[in-house]
Amino acid sequence: MEFLKLFISIFSFSSFFLGAKSDHLQHIKTKSLRPNRLFVFGDSYVDTGNIRKSISDSWKLPYGLTFPEKPSGRFSDGRVATDFLARYLGIKSPIPYTWREYAGKERLLYGMNYAYGGTGVFKTIIPLPNMTSQIDYFQRILAAGNIYSPFDLPSSLAFVSVAGNDYATFVAMKRPLAELPALMKLVVDQIEVNVRRIHKLGVKKIAIPSLQPLGCLPGSTAFTSFQRCNELDNAAAKFHNNLLRQAVAKLNKETKPSTFVILDYYNAFLTVFKNKGPEPGVKRFENPLKPCCVGVRSNYNCSDVDEKGEKMYTICKDPKAAFFWDVFHPSEEGWRSVYSVLRKHLQVLLI
């Protein structure tokens, strides 16, 4: 209860001096083009196969069941955010960085995905490249000059999905909640440094999702049998999102307006959860908070098997009817719905 009050007061305090208004409604230039390359940084919401097979559930069944019908390193039964954003741009999903040697020349044209599941802007419990290191890889590929030239970058889009694991690590380390606002400030400051660096490298459009309503993730709602979102966790996500909005407003003042764009996951997720009527392209989920795949020994362990190789997880009858795939990640149908809600705001990504 005390925690809740703390957050509500922090939240109202910050919203007081924000007055931030969304820059979604930037008018569209006469000759707008869709970016033709996508460079992706961040975590499991966008990783399409960088994470090593030996350490990740995403390379085990039942991940990938819907698409590509076998595990592909995606943290979902099928496609993830990267795939839907690429589809919006009309390009193929960019090749994961670790697979670049095996990619045909044509596939490299669509950009590259540097994201690793489990990572954040800072060190997380999973020892994989943080966002700074991911940008280092990007910079090295640019410097090598044999795949991309500086002329490719102004027509490219960078996509940054980060911060969730920084906060998950904070929770896992059992840090006192009172320290969270200060951490959030550090995280958003570091995001600002990172995206400014991507811009300096020559990318002229950078999309950053806001944090999804963390309190609605099955990891947070399991205690209520996936019935009710945790308002405290949602308030924390809003606090992060307000800081992010301030940082993006500041960045856009330094550059051309709408160089840095927030994709409003927070409200898009809630819109999908609440959707009762036939909004075109948005699926109605029976209980959107209930994940399709849950472990038997632990909710968290979708892909667990026992010593005899018997499945120690259950999956729902129809993954297309579930918004969440596992306790942290939307299903393919979940992501499809989120991106169909966002679609009308994506014009701001045109260049």
Ligand X SMILES: *[C@@H]1O[C@H](CO)[C@@H](O)[C@H](O)[C@H]1NC(C)=O
Task: Give the 3-state secondary structure of residue 30.
Answer: coil
How far apart CA 74 and CA 117 sit, in angstroms, is 9
Q: Which of residues 156-195 bind ligand X (CB under 6 A)?
A: 190
CA pair distance 302, 201, nearest whole angstrom: 39
Q: Is there a contact between 75 and 328 (Cβ–Cβ < 8 Å)?
A: yes
If binding is defined by CB under 6 A, does position 230 make contact with ligand X? no
For the segment 89-118, give every residue that binds ligand X (CB under 6 A): none
CA separation for the pair 119, 113 (Å, rounded)? 14
Q: Which tokens in the block code for residue 86? A: 């690429």
β-pairing, 95-96 vs 156-161, is: unpaired
52 binds ligand X (CB under 6 A): no
Query: What is the CB neighbour count within 10 angstroms for residue 60?
Result: 14
Piece in contact with ligand X (CB under 6 A), picked from 215-223, 244-252, 276-284, 292-300 = 292-300
Token pair 């009172």 is at which residue?
Answer: 178
Q: Is 57 a catalytic residue?
A: no
- The residue range among 164-172, 225-233, 237-245, 303-311 that interacts with ligand X, by the rule CB under 6 A, is 303-311
Catalytic residue among 72, 329, 331, 337: 329
329 is catalytic: yes
User: By CB under 6 A, how many residues form the interface with ligand X?
Assistant: 14
Q: CA-CA distance, 313 to 299, in Å (whole number)?
A: 8
The one catalytic residue among 326, 331, 337, 340: 326
- Selected binder of ligand X within 12, 298, 314, 318 (CB under 6 A): 298
Among 150, 286, 297, 318, binds ligand X (CB under 6 A): 297
The least distance separating ligand X from the CB of residue 194, rounded to whole angstroms, comes to: 8
Is 44 one of the annotated active-site residues of the chain? Answer: yes
Interaction site with ligand X (CB under 6 A): 121-123, 130, 132-133, 190, 295, 297-298, 301, 303-305
